[in-house]
Structure 1
Amino acid sequence: MKTEGCNIIIYYSMRYRHFNRRKFLRDTLYSAAGIMMGSNIPDLSGTKNPANPAFDIMKEVMKYRKIDAHEHVGLGGTVEAQIDFADRLNIEKLVISKPIPDYSVNVPPATPEEFRKCNDEVLSAMKRYPDRYLGQVYVNPVYGEESLEEIKRCVDQGMVGLKVYYQVKINDPLFYPVIEKMIDLKMIILMHAVTAIGFAGHRPKYGNQQMNASAAEDFVEAAKRYPEAMFQYAHTGGGGDWEYTCKTIRNYPNIYVDTSGSNNEGSMIDAVLKYLGEDRM
């Protein structure tokens, strides 16, 4: 199930430390299916009846307060539908942005004019649902001065973080002034990421269509240069080698991950917990 081009992925406040996070995160993988299928949810073996037919997955999901830490607006669907899905999963707040995937057909380049339009759409959604949406400003560091001006404009209007795509890699010197600005603001940087699966002993560092997408090694380089910055490695559930990613970044505590994506394998949550711990997920 997708809303606004991004799967609903559950995050939770670290204040709620009394429950079993591993069990909760595993169970929430079923939650999207629960919306559409009610109680008739297949288990991992493919049978219709779960091992414990008395277990109500949606009841378990609804017990906890949640924040969706990686969402988008303006990429398909409506904000009303997105809020509806959030309500049905008891997601209190959603962190939203609108990036420009300018490798796609008929998508304008990420110029200052265009990324301002994207941020205006996010600001509009924030005004419509001020108690639900937390905005992240999107910029293209190729335009350094304009990016810094846009960060100020959007933060002044209530945005709480930065979302960046693959126009510039996170360890590129063009990014340094933007990272330094976010350090001053004490705000997190959510960066689109791709770590391709290796083949025959070779690991391609970049995706086929996204030559400037940041890989795990790029995050490490940025984190070493700026240990006071906060980096969010996007969508370990988006395909690629998430286990390699977790092993690569595990010794850099200022790199966090989110598990959004459409390819969440059954062992991914356990692996992220094993390598990074609950406070970095």
Structure 2
Amino acid sequence: MTRSALCAVGAVAAATIGSPQVFARNSRKSDSRDETDSFQVFDCHLHCPAENGEKWQWYKVTNSFEDFVSYLDKTGVQRGIINSQRSFGTKPEEFISGNREVARYVEKYKGRFIGACVVNPLYIEESLKEIEYCHNQLDFVWVGELCNYMVPYLYSIREFEMLVEQVVKLNMVLALHTEQGELEYVAQKFPQATIAFAHFGDDHEYDDIFRRIDTVAKNPNFYLDTSGYGHDRVGVLEYAVMTIGPNRILFGSDFSINDPSTVIARIRNSFLTMEQKQKILSGNLLELLKKVQNT
């Protein structure tokens, strides 16, 4: 899709959501920062530094978990779902150690963070056991974000299918990084799974961003988080709310790679109602967690 075609689609979306006059009225209603400042921000997409020093930043600045928490405090993120950079190691001993680090952080900051389990389906036996352990012993309800480009592996392999079956059996949420072709494959192959797809866009942002949103919209089990590509494009968030609905968009920042402040600002400044903003900042994630947590 060319940029001109993209603009045309955006124009149709704007016309469908409402006229410029309606947008202006919504904007005036949303001018009070006091109200949005009072909303809790619950981030579903956080990568914390590992105890061994590994961290996911182009230039390393948050060198410890304490630095990580301090930066979240500055940006206004009160709660989050965390995984450890160490968990993205290839071998079982690495991802298991990373998941145990996460469990220690969850315990230390009780009530603030929820743990996410990261595994490698190429070691499927160990991965299935680890998912079950994290669920039954550590009370994790989130698997991922799984990033198949890091190991790498394909989402079409039988081992990944077995992993998804385990996630579904345990009533957990699967968080995935996908390119558009992968997203479409996963959506068609695993409609029964509860999946939080990361990022509005992918590496082919102009071509795929609306297709990604449209694909997620088709299945009520699928969610889209606001991290990474595309959230900063004015109108994309509004298109997602119009297409997917206001209840299946989750606040995600991809920190410590990206700054949560940029996502918060786009949501606060968006042409959405206060209720829609509150749902995206935390309400939708809280409702999703109610569906998968034992309590």
Identify the TM-score tier after normalising by the shorter chain.
0.5 to 0.7
CA distance in 2, matches of 1:216, 1:262: 15
After TM superposition, the runs of 4+ consecutive aligned structure 1 residues lying more than 6 A away are: none
1:193 matched residue in structure 2? 178
Deviations 1:112-143 (Å, cap 9, x if unpaired)?
12211221221222122121110110001111
1:136 aligned to which of 116, 121, 141: 116
Q: 1:158 Cα shift?
A: 2.5
Identity %: 25
Do residues 68 (structure 1) and 46 (structure 2) align?
A: no
Instruction: Supply the RMSD in Å over aligned alpha carbons.
Output: 2.8
1:36 matched residue in structure 2? none
1:183 matched residue in structure 2? 168
TM-score after normalising by structure 1: 0.64
Cα 1:250/1:95, change in 2 over 3 Å: same
CA distance in 2, matches of 1:125, 1:216: 31
CA distance in 2, matches of 1:233, 1:169: 16
Deviations 1:129-188 (Å, cap 9, x if unpaired)?
121110110001111110011112222123221002213333432112211111121110
CA distance in 2, matches of 1:55, 1:228: 40
CA distance in 1, matches of 2:237, 2:100: 34
CA distance in 1, matches of 2:37, 2:202: 25
Amino acid at match of 1:279: N
Do residues 278 (structure 1) and 246 (structure 2) align?
A: yes
CA distance in 2, matches of 1:98, 1:259: 20
Structure 2 counterpart SS, 1:143: helix
Q: 1:231 Cα shift?
A: 0.9
1:202 matched residue in structure 2? none
2:20 matched residue in structure 1? none
Structure 2 counterpart SS, 1:168: coil
1:160 aligned to which of 117, 138, 141: 141
CA distance in 2, matches of 1:162, 1:249: 18
Do residues 97 (structure 1) and 79 (structure 2) align?
A: no
CA distance in 2, matches of 1:173, 1:147: 13
Amino acid at match of 1:119: N
Uncovered stretches (5+) of structure 2, i.e. residues with no partner: 1-22, 50-54, 57-61, 250-295
CA distance in 1, matches of 2:191, 2:76: 34
CA distance in 1, matches of 2:70, 2:96: 27
Instruction: Answer with 74-83 or 270-279: which moved more.
Output: 74-83
Structure 2 counterpart SS, 1:64: coil
Q: Is the 8 A contact 2:164 2:193 kept in 1?
A: yes
CA distance in 1, matches of 2:118, 2:44: 15
Question: Which has more helix, going by share of residues?
Answer: 2
Amino acid at match of 1:274: M
Aligned ranges 1:1-281 → 2 under 5 Å: 55=31, 57=33, 59-74=34-49, 75-76=55-56, 77=62, 78-98=64-84, 110-155=90-135, 156-163=137-144, 164-166=146-148, 167-195=152-180, 205=181, 215-222=182-189, 226-236=190-200, 240=205, 241-261=208-228, 263=230, 264-281=232-249
Structure 1 counterpart SS, 2:114: strand
Amino acid at match of 1:276: I
Amino acid at match of 1:159: F
Uncovered stretches (5+) of structure 1, i.e. residues with no partner: 1-22, 28-51, 103-108, 196-204, 206-214
